[in-house]
Amino acid sequence: MRHLLRTPAGLAGTTLVGLMVILAIAGPPIWGAEAERIDPAVILQGASAAHPLGTDNLGRDILARVLVAGRLSLVLALLATLIGAIGGIVLGALPSVLPRRAARLVTGTVNALVAFPGLLLAMFTAVVAGLGARGAVLGIGVAIAPGFARLTQTLAASVSGADYVSAARMLGVPRRRIMARHVLPNIAEPLILNLTQALGGALLGLAGMSFLGLGVQPPSFDWGRLLFDGFGRIYSTPAVALGPAVAVALAGIGFNLLGDVLARAASRTAVPAGKAVPRAVSAPGALGEPDPEAVLEVRDLTVTFPGGVTPVRGLSLTVAPGEIVGLVGESGSGKSLTASAIGGLVPYPGEVSAARLRLCGTDLGELPEQERRKLLGTSLAMVFQDPMASLNPALRVGGQLAEVATVHQGASRAEARARAVDRLRHVRIPEPDRRARQHPHELSGGMRQRAVIAMGLMGTPRLIIADEPTTALDVTVQRQILRLLREVTGESGAATLFISHDIAVVGELCHRVVVMYAGRVVEELPVEKLASGAAHPYTRALVASLPDMDTDRSLPLASISGHQPSPAELGPGCAFAARCELATGRCAERPPLIPYGKAHQVACWEAS
């Protein structure tokens, strides 16, 4: 509710609608007598101090009449909207419950009605139903119904494809019941939002009908009727017509603004653009000298979101040339955000800070914006889970690769294109010349991932960050992509940071493994130790709970009870303690990451 009032549009809409409701309730009791009082002395007057909007042909005060007419206008609009909404929702829901042939007939009728101009439909119905308020309300209701029917149908169709509807069908739940229990409650929200906007439309429509003389008939009056009565005098005494016109406009604008704001709040699309820039925090004393060999050196990387949510906490990481480091963790452990933070891709309003964030010997936090972009653009290659996220579906593959060379290396178009084909050949895409002329959708998933890697190889990457690059691929294709990554790292001497939830894949590909849990590194170990030499209880449980081709089938699998705490739930102690069998009182204090044998670090008090 609070966000309704935060934007000017929301504030205006809510205020206008609120005023209209108050007017509808309080208007007639207060000004009712005044609006009906006939005064032959002041017939057909213009604006004056006594009658700010003038008087009508019986000398009645038009301001009072406008204020009183609010109730009838709003009630009629509400009725028309309800008729339209109920009719439309029933019509839209019918195809989901009727047998196939009848459903098709209903769908066809709705389609025809949607194509028919609304106002014409309203006037036609109003004339058939008889002049007067009833006809106008029916007419507007009928005009609104097809839109609602179409919306209901579309929304219902999307929900009908949901797994829970399939599950209910399999359980033998009748179609009518599925509609009532599963479909309608899940589409209610957008329908109600549409109702608010339709109300504004109905108000305008009814005023239009009355203005045309098809709506409310004397002695009753609504805003449209007042407008109709005053219109003839618009040149001599304009206030007479402008008063009701302003009332209609304000009410229409109010309902539409409110509907708009409600719809936007419901779709939660308020994610503004902008990227968080790494900010150097004042370096603590024991940071040490930067490692001259390392391609990537991260010290105390922290990513914070407003409200004190910190998904990545004090992460440190070093990757040497030619080395593949695996970053493993469950969803929500902060591993992907770590990659985004290094690449400068953390979405607003996330905030990145690090005591040190060095790429190729340059501190990213100290570089001006333009140079940082250039450095990242030329020396960092990123490969994501969904290759379609990195490829523009509308452009040819070759052109997209060539763009890297023309933008960052100033190559000519012909040179860039030749290099693109060469890189595609390098990642072993068959017929690279032909493939370069194709669009991404013409390539298979594995081929697309190869093309993304080739794109990273257009420059001379010093660091390759691969975030779950094989998760969406089949195992046989996964194997090829892993081999390709290994070769590319080996021959280019680049450092690779490989992020995955799959500890088996990491075990196969990487030299060194960094295990993350709830935003922190809990263990860092050489890959040879992963299978049987891990020290942290979480790493050990992860390894044990993973079935592989040698798992003993007669024994139950190890599993970890409970779930990983979300960043907001984290306390001061060890985040894993609640799920840990070894936990003691000491774990209320967070264990630091300390050396544990050669090239091995662990953050656990009980590690032995």
Partner 1 sequence: MIIKNLTVRFGAFTAVDDVTLEIPAGAIVGLVGESGSGKSTLARAVTGLVPYTGEITGGDPRRIQMVFQDPYASLDPRMTVGASVAEGLRVPRAARQAEVERLLSLVSLPASMAGRYPRELSGGQRQRVAVARALGARPELLVADEITSALDVSVQGSVLNLVRSLREELGLSMLFISHNLAVVRYVSDVVAVMHRGRLVEMGATEEVVGSPRNGYTRSLLEAVPRLRRA
Is there binding between residue 476 and partner 1 (CB under 8 A)? yes
Name the strands in the sheet holding 380-383, side by side, starting at the edge strand that comes first in the sequence.
380-383, 463-467, 495-500, 324-328, 512-517, 520-526, 601-602, 594-595
- Nearest to partner 1 of 414, 555 (CB atom): 555
DSSP per position, 384-408? -S-HHHHS-TTS-HHHHHHHHHHHH
Is there binding between residue 170 and partner 1 (CB under 8 A)? yes
Q: Which tokens hold the place of 349?
A: 């309003």
Contacts of 93 (CB under 8 A, 6+ apart): 152, 153, 156, 179, 183, 184
For the segment 556-575, give every residue that binds partner 1 (CB under 8 A).
556-561, 563-564
Query: Closest separation between CB of residue 397 and partner 1, Å?
Result: 21
Contacts of 412 (CB under 8 A, 6+ apart): 406
Site string for partner 1, 404-443 (x = CB under 8 A): ----------------------------------------
Q: Tell me which of 33, 114, 407, 531 binds partner 1, using CB under 8 A.
A: 531
Site string for partner 1, 321-350 (x = CB under 8 A): ---------xx-------------------
DSSP per position, 243-307? HHHHHHHHHHHHHHHHHHHHHHHHHT------BPPPEEPPPPGGG----SS-SEEEEEEEEEETT
- Nearest to partner 1 of 71, 520 (CB atom): 520
Is there binding between residue 111 and partner 1 (CB under 8 A)? no
Q: How many residues does the chain have?
A: 608
Query: Closest separation between CB of residue 481 and partner 1, Å?
Result: 11
The two beta strands, 495-500 and 324-328, are: parallel
Query: Closest separation between CB of residue 37 and partner 1, Å?
Result: 54
Is there binding between residue 582 and partner 1 (CB under 8 A)? no
Query: Closest separation between CB of residue 503 and partner 1, Å?
Result: 7
Q: Which stretch binds partner 1 (CB under 8 A): 49-57, 117-125, 141-149, 541-549?
A: 541-549
Distance CA 358, CA 298 (A): 6
- Nearest to partner 1 of 48, 158 (CB atom): 158
Is there binding between residue 154 and partner 1 (CB under 8 A)? no
Is there binding between residue 193 and partner 1 (CB under 8 A)? no
Is there binding between residue 483 and partner 1 (CB under 8 A)? no
Distance CA 43, CA 64 (A): 15
Query: Closest separation between CB of residue 183 and partner 1, Å?
Result: 10
Task: Give the other-Cβ count within 10 Å of 415's Cβ.
Answer: 14
Alpha-carbon separation of residue 471 from 322, 376, 505 (angstroms): 23, 25, 10
Query: Closest separation between CB of residue 164 and partner 1, Å?
Result: 4
303 phi/psi in degrees, rounded to 5? -115, 125
Q: Tell me which of 504, 570, 578, 582 binds partner 1, using CB under 8 A.
A: 504
Q: Which stretch binds partner 1 (CB under 8 A): 106-114, 120-128, 233-241, 477-485?
A: 477-485
Tell me the HSE value of 442 on the side-chain side, using a 13 A CA sphere.
11
Distance CA 589, CA 571 (A): 9
Q: Tell me which of 85, 317, 451, 541 binds partner 1, using CB under 8 A.
A: 541
Distance CA 294, CA 358 (A): 9
Is there binding between residue 595 and partner 1 (CB under 8 A)? no
Distance CA 85, CA 188 (A): 12
Binding site for partner 1 (CB under 8 A): 162-164, 166-173, 181-182, 185-186, 330-331, 445, 474-476, 478-479, 482, 501-505, 507-508, 530-531, 541-551, 553, 556-561, 563-564
